[in-house]
Structure 1
Amino acid sequence: DLMALAMVMLYDVHDRKFQPREPMTGEGEGLIEDVRLVEESLYRFRTKLVASLARFRIKHNLVCVDDILPKCVKEKHQRKDKLLTCAWVNTLKSSVDEVCMMLKTQGFIQVDPNTHLQGSVFCRDTHCPEVLLFPHQAQEHLEKMTLIRDHTLIIQEKSRSLAVCALRPLLAKNTDILIVGSFSALTAAHVGIQASVFSNHVFVCGLPSDSTHREELQETLSLIGCKNFRLLSEQFSDLSEGDSRLQKVQVVLVLPRCTASALSDPIAHIINEDGDRKLLQDLSQDTVSDTKLESLVQKQIQDLSHALTFPRVRGVVYCTCSVYAEENELVVKRAIKNAAGRTKSQPFR
């Protein structure tokens, strides 16, 4: 079902008046086959689509296509252009201080974190020590810099960096990490860098040897410099506490698909972090059906509950980007209740 993708792409091509977009020339970039198929179809029916949208606007007395969206969705779209650009430092290649110095040589000015960011300035994040913040408009300039192209500085939304930083207090020697759920290769790499401080390994499951996702993950990890990953073909639900490969796993990071309803730019998150693309149509109406929400919650409970069955695990980090209580404290309480009947040598954190 490509309808959700078609809706997003129709808005994009209409926004640029059906003019061709700039070709992708970066390393490893290229169109996904589904994207190419939808794009070709939209251009083939361009005249009919433009006429249909015009009739719809006249019928409903709408000034522009944006007015089709609910007010709250439009407000999110407007906030998106004001969001700060976040980037984390790949400490396998450089230090935060060295990157700050390199940015200054490129014309950027480092300012206090409490300063309003505008122009060629940046600051260090107050929550994540390896994250730097820039004005939204600076991203285009940053993407042309060597720091970005050689993967010393990685642009990524802050929600995932917060999840990775939450792992830090749980890490020590012989503390391997298991990542569960849906996430980008960049998120996995960020976890791997944190684990490498203590020479720990990171396990990622659900990656059959012939899967495209596995190949893409391996390529990104290689570019960033991560060498401490162990990729497993089994799904998380098929892994047991007695698996000999997981005997040193003491921390589980659970990153399940969620409604992304708390984000100002949920579309980017869903696309970049392997989210549920069927949500795109729901989000355009600023509502998620009860059926869809329940299906997401059931998977979240399943993963979180299974993470609590590993007796050596002493810390589970659960990350959601949702405003719904069902995906926040309620899902955690339900998972803990499921695990309450068994004993552990150490309490969970």
Structure 2
Amino acid sequence: KRTVTLIDKDGYPDSVYMNAAKIFQGIHTEKSKDRMLVRYGNNSESPVLAFQDEHSRRVSYELAFSALKYQDLLEEILLDSGVYPCQSIPDELTSLLVVMLYDLQDRKFEARKIFDEEEPVEEVQEIGHYLYSCKTKLAAALARCRIKYDALSIEHFVPETIWKQEQRVSALPFCVWINTFKISLEDVIRDLETKGLTKVESVSDFDHYTYAMDQHCHDVLVFPSSLKEELLNLDLFADCKLLLQ
């Protein structure tokens, strides 16, 4: 079996942070000069992304877009805590700082797991150690922000329109495409059955461990939203035999 990048509250391998930072560098919200307190350096060049597998690609994008969603809050935490600016961190690494800060607060400021299967990345190691050494200041700054805005959690900082849209999307069934260049429909069904999933006629028949075939395209399977995280950890996805649509 292949090793996949785990989604957990233990953090991620260094390569995921680097890829997420490169993605975030290209998508972060540019502030006007009079409001630009956090500087992100030059992002004119297209980033070169190197993913270990499909799983790594997905979590890199998820991490980048999570940082984007909370960009204003993360910047305020960095500034309020005095952690930013830092002379030893150039503007080109600010995206990495923001992405890793999002992950650190998501782990409740707990230490990150060490991943032995890949070479450490110096920039990730340095910024990770720097943020963790400042965790008390950062946690206090987050607490002040929550008090200031009367927020029970950081989800309060997401614009209501985005929050409602995410709620709707998260409840929808999701589709996966069978990569028939790598696996047959029969083998996919057999694999899913060994994992306890049952085929039903339509989405209206969904229970938790069930799935259905798309009525118009037999290379597409439909699953309940509640199974998404669990299914995306399967080797079928890591080996690109199933692809999320």
The two structures have a TM-score, normalised by structure 2, of: 0.49
The two structures have a TM-score, normalised by structure 1, of: 0.36
Tell me which protein shows more helix as a share of its residues.
Answer: 2
Bigger Cα Rg: 1
| Larger relative contact order, structure 1 or 2 (CA cutoff 8 Å, min sep 6) | 2
